[in-house]
């Protein structure tokens, strides 16, 4: 779909309205959301930006910032950033996973409804920026985290780049790669990754 045009599969015979693959009307502009449950959250600004873009709107007017994010919701938002929110909303969960594999964001298929660890989040963000080739050279990085020496070699470069680029800073003390990411933490990382100069 060319930039600025709506993704649609068919036209309604009598009105000519554009319809998605389920026969539902496709809106002319992305659905923007103002979330009612993010006031005072550390990622309120980032969550608000994503809502305005029509991303991470699975719960309508609520965001559920402290709930663990599901892999498919995070990947759907990533697809939405790069290909438009209407396109990502029309994709099945399996299609979202396939797209993430094709883009190189995921290296192996995972259950769509699985939670996302901080280690996986750092990999997804760095891979989406096309910096995977730098992250796979772990011996050139020094980690500012107290648990830096305990982070396995596979994640070390991703953690360092995520810190250095301002995408993920965890609590500023420890990285804790197995930490389950909340929807607010995912929103913050997504928006911060968009600010990285390419």
pLDDT tens, residue by residue, 95-116: 999 999 999 999 999 999 999 9
Q: Note the pLDDT tens digit of each residue in 33-79.
A: 899 999 999 999 999 999 999 999 999 999 999 999 999 999 999 99
| Token representation of residue 34 | 């103002």
Q: Buried (b) or exposed (e) across 144-180, using 16+ Cβ within 10 A?
A: ebeebeebeeebbbbbbbbbebebbebeeeebbbebe
Task: State the pTM of this model.
Answer: 0.84
């Amino acid at each position: 779909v060319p930039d600025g045009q709506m993704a649609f599969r068919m036209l309604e015979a009598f009105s000519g309205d554009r319809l998605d693959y389920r026969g539902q009307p496709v809106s002319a502009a992305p659905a923007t959301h103002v979330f009612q449950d993010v006031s005072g959250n550390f990622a309120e600004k980032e969550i608000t930006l994503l809502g305005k873009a029509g991303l991470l709107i699975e719960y309508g007017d609520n965001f559920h910032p402290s709930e663990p994010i599901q892999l498919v919701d995070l990947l759907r938002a990533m697809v939405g950033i790069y290909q438009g929110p209407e396109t990502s909303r029309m994709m099945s969960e399996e299609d979202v996973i396939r797209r993430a594999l094709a883009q190189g964001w995921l290296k192996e298929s995972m259950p769509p409804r699985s939670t996302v660890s901080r280690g996986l989040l750092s990999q997804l963000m760095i891979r989406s920026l096309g910096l995977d080739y730098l992250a796979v050279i772990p011996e050139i990085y020094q980690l500012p985290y107290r648990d830096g020496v305990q982070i396995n070699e596979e994640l070390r470069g991703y953690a360092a780049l995520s810190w250095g680029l301002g995408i993920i800073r965890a609590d500023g003390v420890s990285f804790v790669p197995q930490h389950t990411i909340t929807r607010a933490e995912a929103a913050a990382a997504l928006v911060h990754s968009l600010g990285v100069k390419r």
